[in-house]
Amino acid sequence: MPSVPTFGAAIYPHLFTPIRLGRLTLPNRMMVPALTTSFAEADGSVGEALIHYLVERAAGGFGAIVTENIGVHPGGRVMPRMVMADDDRYIPGLARLAGAVRDAGGVLIGQISHAGRQTRSSITGQPLVAPSPIPCPLNREMPHELAINEIERLERAFVETACRLAVSGFEGVEIHGAHGYLVGGFLSPYSNTRTDAYGGSLDNRMRFLRNILRGIKLRLGDDFPLIVRISADEFIDGGLNVDQSIELVLRLEDEGIHALSVSVGVYGSFNKVSMITGEPEGQWLEMAGLVKARSHLPIIGVGRIKRATVAEAGLATDKIDIAAFGRASIADPHLPRRVLEGREDDIQCCLGCNVCLGRSSRPEIICPINPLVGREDLLCRAGAVITARTVVVHGSCLAALTAAWVAAVRGHEVIVVELNGENGGMQAWRARVPGQEEHAEVLMAARRRAATAGVRFLAETTKATTADAVWRVRRFEPIDRRRLAAGAGAVSSYDVLAGRVTVVPGSRLVAIGDDLSIAEAALLAAARGAHVTLLASGPSIARDAHPGYREVTRRKLRQFGAEIATGSESPADTDVVVVGHDPALNYDSPDAWITPSGNATAYVADAYEPGVFTAGVYKAVTLALAFGGPEPNQA
């Protein structure tokens, strides 16, 4: 382990103080919370990808790892590739996972769950079920109202599943009572309107959970570590608020659970669950503190905790007892080890882009910061190259820095030529937008990762080096060229974002388009003092981006006094017209790309919107792996 093991512990004494959960002692206060990966095999069993993924996080020093939600019943599948434990046939795979995590020094806790109404019957293969016949506002599918005997059967399914995990060697179980799934659905008056013993009063609404907890305790004993996760505030009309949740927590304490995980939100308020870039870090620590002030339970806090400083402050001020690093653990599985070793500058910080939540291009989680997620052994499998070659990379966008890093790890000589005015590519432009400053940090970390692997950085003016390969950056800028040409003096969103045009304070600027770049160009201009109107073709802005960005950008536009309207024609007194994307252009359209001049053996792709630049990062990894040797199996 670390060469100076006490360095981080001296700076962050709370973070590295062990804590007891039932019969468990966790070595530190850094936890991986439940994160659905879709790395399960098609039949719901545990396979190598999930084992690699979780073992890497155990080896990275997290004090405890909660698995993604594990299904207690096929009717509660939330994803096609959900880990299941509703049958004994899953035990061998679960046991291999538990053993591998233990061998890597980790503590594995299994989250067990049933999705209730928050899934689709196309995924479950059977009608959805819920406490009450109220459709989820997102999926809009009417669930079947559970009869008492069906509820009792599901209570037993939770208990049996917990027992299977215990038999498999899991060291604890977390009941997923948060985010509006079945257990949370019973707890919340927003989704539970029953008038029988399972609805109405808080005691009745928590009967389902209480019966599950009592059943597990009966089978596994009082000291088997049991965590309950709740949404302390559901942020929805008629849903649980913190005061009601505190009453719930006091009753859970009486049930003898060993810790409480405080999350927020349901599907109807899902932007609150995994907050996007620009939202405050440690967002829900105050709320967790309110719960902790009234409870004796160890409290697990979550919500954009990605820095040791934020976690330590939460612990030191008695708001939480354990800090859950969710997406931060996807982006950097070795975060705790780096903190402990005093190497925080080496952490690849989660950007908060929520690409890992997206399911459109591929089902498994992917991450632009950590393209090795789910294929942690990829670079080891690729091995060192037999013949080292020289590659010159012109440009330093995230994809270029990633390609350079991978090629250097494999043993090539890599030189990155930093282009004047284009350092960091489009993410550097984005870092200028209010709230998006984290992009600069991400670029810095990627640059450092590349430099540590041996990549050399040269200024553009340096004399050309001979190379076996030249990779250049091309940019995805699918601007509406027709509109750009039509408006006298019109400029593109990227002209504003890149600083190619100066925003004059007090000028009247109209931004036209539906994409993220135009919304953020409008925001940047408004922040610099222009009178901005953003014209979209409908009620939605930044349509190509994660909905979280729509919310945060809309809020910030208002904050800087910009107007948002529907339309496409700029008023006569406009000083500057700014044009966004042409919706007809996509990734495969040659006209969508700005390709640099000069010889190139390959191009790496830069883009503005996270889902699109992630595609460039993944292609860059493939390019670097294939360079100078056969491409390894990347499954």
Ligand X SMILES: Cc1cc2nc3c(=O)[nH]c(=O)nc-3n(C[C@H](O)[C@H](O)[C@H](O)COP(=O)(O)O)c2cc1C
Footprint on this chain of ligand X (rule: CB under 6 A): 33-36, 68-69, 111, 176, 178-179, 229, 263, 273-275, 302-305, 325-328, 356-357, 365
Q: Do 513 and 626 touch, CB atoms closer than 8 A?
A: no
CA dist., res. 488 & res. 517, Å (int): 21
User: Which has the closest alpha carbon to 37: 25, 24, 27, 50?
Assistant: 50
Distance (Å, rounded) from C-alpha 549 to C-alpha 309? Answer: 25
Q: State the minimum distance, in angstroms, from the CB of residue 548 to ligand SF4.
A: 10
Cα-based distances in Å from 174 to 166, 209, 406:
12, 12, 37
Residue 37 CB, nearest distance to ligand X (Å)? 7
**In this chain, which stretch among 221-229, 246-254, 347-355, 570-578 interacts with ligand SF4, using CB under 6 A?**
347-355
Q: How is residue 109 written in tokens?
A: 């806790």
Asked if 356 touches ligand SF4 (CB under 6 A), the answer is yes
Near ligand SF4 by CB under 6 A: residue from 116, 301, 352, 434:
352
Select from ligand SF4, ligand X, none the partner in contact with residue 303, using the beta carbon and a kind-dependent cut-off of 5 to 8 Å: ligand X
Whole-number Å distance between alpha carbons of 532 and 520:
11
Tokens of 608: 């503005």
Which option in ligand SF4, ligand X, none does residue 473 bind, with CB closer than 5 to 8 A by kind?
Answer: none
As a whole number of angstroms, the distance between CA 153 and CA 162 comes to: 14
Decide which of ligand SF4, ligand X, none touches 305; Cβ closer than 5 to 8 Å per partner kind.
Answer: ligand X
Task: Give the one entry of ligand X, ligand SF4, none that residue 351 binds, where binding means its C-beta sits below a cut-off of 5 to 8 angstroms depending on kind.
Answer: ligand SF4
The residue behind tokens 């434990």 is 85
494 has catalytic annotation = no
Q: What is the distance, to the nearest Å, from the Cα of residue 387 to the centroid of all Cα atoms in its chain? A: 38
Q: Is the CA virtual torsion 213, 216, 220, 224 positive or negative?
A: negative
Site residues for ligand SF4, 312-341, by CB under 6 A, read 327, 330-331
In our burial notation (b when 16+ CB lie closer than 10 A, e otherwise), range 565-576 reads eeeeebeeebeb
In this chain, which of 82, 355, 522, 545 binds ligand SF4, going by CB under 6 A?
355
Which partner, ligand SF4, ligand X, none, binds residue 292 by CB below 5 to 8 Å per kind?
none
Backbone angles phi, psi at 506, to 5 degrees: 90, -15
Length of the chain, in residues: 635
**Contact status, residue 469 vs residue 389, Cβ threshold 8 Å:** yes
Q: Minimal distance in Å, beta carbon 618 to ligand X? A: 17
> Which of residues 68 and 609 has its CB atom nearest to ligand X in the complex?
68
Q: Which amino acid is at 354?
A: N
Query: Within 10 Å of residue 560's Cβ, how many Cβ atoms?
Result: 17
- When asked if residue 58 is in the footprint of ligand SF4 (CB under 6 A), the reply is no
Catalytic one of 12, 53, 181, 549: 181
| CA distance linking residue 205 with residue 202, whole number of Å | 5
| In the complex, minimum distance from the CB of residue 264 to ligand X, in angstroms, rounded to a whole number | 8
Segment 363-402, which members bind ligand SF4 (CB under 6 A)? 367, 369
38 binds ligand SF4 (CB under 6 A): no
Binding segment for ligand SF4 (CB under 6 A), chosen from 163-171, 314-322, 348-356, 600-608, is 348-356
The site for ligand SF4, by CB under 6 A, has a size of 12
Least separation in angstroms between residue 613's CB and ligand SF4 is 11
Q: Please state the closest distance from residue 327 (CB atom) to ligand SF4, in A.
A: 4
Q: Measured from the CB of residue 182, what is the shortest distance to ligand X in angstroms?
A: 13
- Listed in sequence order, the DSSP H helices in 355-492 are 378-382, 398-409, 425-430, 438-452, 481-486
**Does residue 432 sit in helix, strand or coil?**
coil
Which among ligand SF4, ligand X, none contacts residue 355 (Cβ within 5 to 8 A by kind)?
ligand SF4
Residues of this chain that interact with ligand SF4 (CB under 6 A) are: 327, 330-331, 350-356, 367, 369
User: Could you list the active site residues?
Assistant: 181
